[in-house]
Amino acid sequence: MYRSTNRGQSWTKLTGSQFDRVTSITFNPLNNKQIYLTTEQQGLWMTNDITGTNPVFTPVQSYDYRQPERVFFNPYNTSEIWVSSFGNGMRMGSLVATGTHDVASENTLEIFPNPARDVVTVRSETEGEVRVYDAAGRLVRTYPVVIGSNELNISDLPTGVYVFRLNGRVGKWVKE
């Protein structure tokens, strides 16, 4: 990863030989000095001082998958961070007041069939309320759920990609 401070006339490599194949970086909208860096083989990393001469990158310990693709911040709740990956689905976590992160390490919310048209089943280990977000991060629906299997009528939702969230667990689902 490189940085230019003179409109591209010269470039400085920020990561040295620490990373092989950086795939994306995302700035924290609440802290413009903090970025999240995804790599093809070395996992998810972050720094709290991207503006420094030699930023120090540390691995995000709570995200243990080696191939994250992108980091997103929920535009309606900027303390909520979502990490998509190649082969490991989407994980959700929350930023805490110290500026650190906690990407959920368990993704046990089961949603099937996927894709679906009229009804989906959500298998839950807890009772609560499933919150359904559209691809833009807007809350579009809530459903009460109990422990076990819950059939949810989704026939009136428009076609698209949705994220289901229940008690810190996240599942991605497609409406046909």
27 pLDDT band (50/70/90 cuts)?
very high
Average model confidence (pLDDT) for the chain?
83
Stretch 5-29: mean pLDDT: 89
pLDDT of 60 higher than 70: yes
Structure tokens at 113: 């069939």
Q: Where are the domains of the chain?
A: 2-94, 110-175
Would you put residue 16 in left (φ > 0), alpha (ψ -120 to 50) or beta?
left
175 pLDDT band (50/70/90 cuts)?
confident
11 or 88: which leads in pLDDT: 11
Stretch 2-27: mean pLDDT: 89
115 or 172: which leads in pLDDT: 115
Indicate the CATH number of 110-175 among 2.40.128.50, 3.30.2130.10, 2.60.40.3080, 3.90.230.10.
2.60.40.3080
| Residues 12, 5: Cα–Cα separation, whole Å | 9
Peptide bond into 115 cis (omega under 30): yes
| Per-residue pLDDT tens digits for 95-136 | 754 455 555 444 456 788 888 899 999 888 778 899 898 877
| Residues 5, 42: Cα–Cα separation, whole Å | 27
pLDDT of 63 higher than 50: yes
Would you put residue 8 in left (φ > 0), alpha (ψ -120 to 50) or beta?
left
On the 0-12 / 13-18 / 19+ scale of CB atoms within 10 A, 50 is buried
Which of 117, 135, 132 lies closest to 72, judged by CA? 135
pLDDT of residue 8: 93
